[in-house]
């Protein structure tokens, strides 16, 4: 029976598919770490109180990248180049979602509007990350090789999502509500398209590595398109709602370490 658990188990059991999975994940997390570090350095004077939280966010992302690299080393594997069509972070940037890397390389401080854009983009992408890691935690929390990594990263992603909700609500109360709603909707609709395209690309690469028959590849592609159809019709709305999280000040302290992976 084809299921999320059986699919990931198959990827996990094969060295080459596991190399690709961890390489893609490590690259995306490391990129997120760099972006957050640059945003923290450029926070405008009136919002300097956010800088430690953004720094913590970036430190968590860097840690996740190191965890995926450590999982590879544990199996005696080395990273592989990330295929461009699977590079979720860079494809989002090319679609104009979030803050452009050219802007982040500049030394000019960001504006409050830039920070709102960053938080709205993060709220959408962290929703996806939290859901994916919750799925893996549900099936693999006790796995001897990846269980601890899944539990740690999933907890961090939940914290990131809570932080985005809380900060966006603060900015909405300060009068930025219309801009937040507009940006969230644009980000969500772009993200679901990118997620569909990246998912199709990843499955194509995995299918080639694992030797999937054409029928299985067609079935998986149909499932990915079905998810997109649902998200395009209504599912995207879960990415744009805002509510005060149970976890308040979720990024208010130092980043947790991962000595068992570092």
pLDDT at 262: 39
Structural domains of the chain, with CATH: 4-239 (1.20.1260.10)
Judge whether residue 252 has pLDDT over 90: no
- The Cα-based distances of 60 to 67, 105, 198 in angstroms read 10, 21, 23
Average pLDDT over residues 154-180: 97
pLDDT digits (tens, 9 = 90+) for 103-113: 999 999 999 99
Strands in 39-161 per DSSP E: none
Judge whether residue 257 has pLDDT over 70: no
Q: Higher-confidence residue: 259 or 127?
A: 127
pLDDT digits (tens, 9 = 90+) for 30-46: 999 999 999 999 999 99
Predicted confidence band at 121 (pLDDT cuts at 50, 70, 90)?
very high
* 248 burial level (CB within 10 Å; 0-12, 13-18, 19+): exposed
pTM of the model: 0.94
């Amino acid at each position: 029976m084809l299921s999320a658990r059986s699919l990931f188990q198959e990827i996990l059991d094969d060295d080459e598919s596991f190399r690709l999975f961890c390489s893609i994940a490590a690259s995306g997390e490391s990129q997120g770490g760099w972006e957050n570090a640059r945003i923290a350095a450029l926070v405008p004077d009136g919002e300097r109180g956010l800088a430690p939280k953004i720094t913590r966010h970036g430190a968590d992302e860097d840690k996740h990248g190191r965890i995926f690299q450590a999982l590879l080393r544990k199996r005696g594997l080395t990273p592989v180049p990330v295929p461009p069509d699977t590079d979720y972070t860079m494809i989002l940037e090319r679609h104009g979602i979030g803050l452009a890397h050219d802007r982040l390389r500049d030394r000019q401080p960001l504006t409050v509007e830039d920070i709102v854009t960053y938080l709205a983009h993060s709220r959408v992408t962290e929703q996806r990350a939290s859901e994916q890691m919750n799925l893996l935690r549900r099936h693999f929390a006790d796995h001897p090789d990846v269980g601890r990594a899944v539990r740690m990263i999933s907890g961090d992603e939940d914290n990131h999502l809570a932080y985005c909700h809380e900060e966006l609500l603060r900015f909405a109360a300060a009068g930025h509500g219309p801009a937040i709603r507009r940006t969230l909707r644009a980000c969500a609709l772009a993200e679901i398209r990118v997620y569909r395209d990246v998912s199709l690309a990843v499955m194509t690469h995995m299918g080639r590595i694992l030797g999937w028959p054409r029928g299985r590849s067609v079935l998986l592609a149909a499932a990915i398109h079905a998810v997109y159809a649902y998200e395009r019709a209504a599912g995207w709305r879960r990415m744009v709602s805002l509510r005060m999280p149970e976890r308040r000040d979720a990024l208010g302290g130092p980043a947790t370490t991962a000595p068992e992976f570092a």
